[in-house]
């Protein structure tokens, strides 16, 4: 099958069931028999709707109550950066966000908050993405992030280029937070996944683009209060013209989801998956290696306990 036919089938009939990671690792093969006992380090799910894949993944991770306790204030941070509808794959899928909200509330969360510091005008982004309506219907509060007064300065002592930043107070005030990016191409960083998604919790992002973008992405991930879970939405993948996309032709329906507490590992797995849609060498996604160098996680996912599920 040539590349054009492959991508067409991938989008139309979910031919991604056969995708393999480069280097011979089949993301959706059976878990190795000698995998460590206990909850997996990383879960990869394929072939379902966004909410159904999350249910499968979180069950394998030990259930949402492993991460969210009764009385917790929880923040869910999707990508809502663009005034785009879900079919264009610029923002996190609203069905996934809604299911995470429901499960957090079901676990006894006192409050669930959803927000993002958007690139386009925030009210339009919240509405067009479908996330505001879905999150509110599931029981969450949706907060704005468009004014500097919503942020407080913190220090990043481990950062190499970024030594301080202004962090949204919702993150500072919560008990736990969950990072829910969409997998997509990015014109500046080459890939936008879990690590890059943290740019939406801070106020002034100009320094990223005038300094060393790939290092600053890693630096922001050194903040003390890290997400308890990273859930990568790959139901639709923006394969070109990211981070906002131009048309439906830029989006591919691939029906996948990746989950881990390790931002570097989950981004590595998702980036390898992306490579089956469009070539993107990991060496070009330098914030992965930068994050590993800062001991934020590992790119060596072959050594992790990975659970792979086909629906």
pLDDT for the residue 37: 56
- At 225 the pLDDT is 97
Reported residue count of the chain is: 311
Band of residue 211 on the pLDDT scale cut at 50, 70, 90: confident
Mean of all residue pLDDT scores within the chain: 90
Q: Which residue has the higher pLDDT, 41 or 209?
A: 41
Place of tokens 């190499």: 160
Report, as an integer, the average pLDDT of 159-188.
Answer: 97
Express each pLDDT in 5-44 by its tens digit: 434 434 433 333 334 433 334 454 444 444 345 899 999 9
The structural domains of the chain, ordered by start, are 3-310 (3.40.50.11440)
User: Which of 11-20, 53-62, 197-206, 268-277 has the least mean pLDDT?
Assistant: 11-20
- 167 beta partners: 152, 202
User: Quick check: 54 pLDDT over 50?
Assistant: yes
What is the secondary structure of 71-140 as a DSSP string?
T-EEEEEE---SS--GGG-SS--HHHHHHHHHHHHHTT-SEEEE----SS-HHHHHHHTSHHHHHHHHT-
Share of the chain above pLDDT 90, in %: 85
Lowest-confidence range among 57-71, 205-219, 263-277? 205-219
pLDDT value of residue 209: 80
Mean pLDDT of 153-177: 97
Query: For residue 3, is pLDDT > 50?
Result: no
Q: What percent of the chain has pLDDT over 70?
A: 88
Average pLDDT over residues 297-307: 97
Average pLDDT on 169-184 reads 98
Q: 76-111 burial, b for 16+ CB within 10 Å, e for fewer? A: bbbbbbbbbebebbbbbbbbbbbbbbbbbbebebeb
């Amino acid at each position: 099958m040539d590349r054009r036919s492959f991508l067409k089938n991938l989008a139309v009939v979910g031919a991604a069931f056969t995708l393999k990671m480069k280097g011979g690792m089949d993301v959706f093969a059976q878990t190795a028999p000698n995998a460590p006992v206990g909850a997996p380090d990383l879960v990869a799910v394929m072939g379902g709707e966004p909410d159904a894949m999350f249910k499968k993944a979180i069950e394998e991770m030990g259930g949402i109550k492993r991460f969210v306790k009764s009385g917790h204030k929880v923040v869910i941070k999707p990508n809502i950066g663009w005034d785009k509808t879900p079919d264009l794959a610029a923002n996190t899928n609203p069905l996934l966000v809604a299911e995470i909200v429901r499960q957090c509330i079901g676990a006894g969360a006192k409050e669930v908050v959803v927000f993002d510091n958007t690139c386009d005008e925030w009210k339009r982004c919240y509405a067009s993405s479908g996330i505001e309506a879905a999150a509110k219907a599931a029981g969450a509060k949706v907060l704005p992030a468009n004014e500097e007064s919503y942020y407080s300065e913190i220090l990043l002592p481990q950062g190499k280029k970024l030594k301080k930043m202004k962090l949204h107070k919702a993150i500072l005030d919560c008990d736990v937070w969950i990072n829910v990016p969409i997998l997509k191409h990015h014109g500046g960083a080459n890939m936008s996944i879990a690590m890059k998604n943290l740019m939406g919790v801070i106020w002034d992002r100009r320094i990223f683009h005038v300094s060393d973008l790939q290092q600053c992405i890693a630096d922001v991930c050194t903040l003390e209060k890290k997400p308890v879970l990273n859930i990568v939405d790959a139901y639709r993948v923006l394969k070109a013209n990211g981070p906002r996309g131009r048309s439906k032709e830029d989006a591919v329906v691939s029906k996948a989801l990746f989950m881990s507490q390790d931002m570097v590992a989950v981004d590595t797995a998702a980036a390898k998956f992306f490579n089956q849609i469009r070539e993107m060498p990991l060496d070009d996604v330098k914030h992965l290696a930068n994050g590993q160098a800062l001991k934020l996680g590992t790119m060596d996912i072959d050594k992790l306990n990975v659970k792979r599920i086909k629906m």
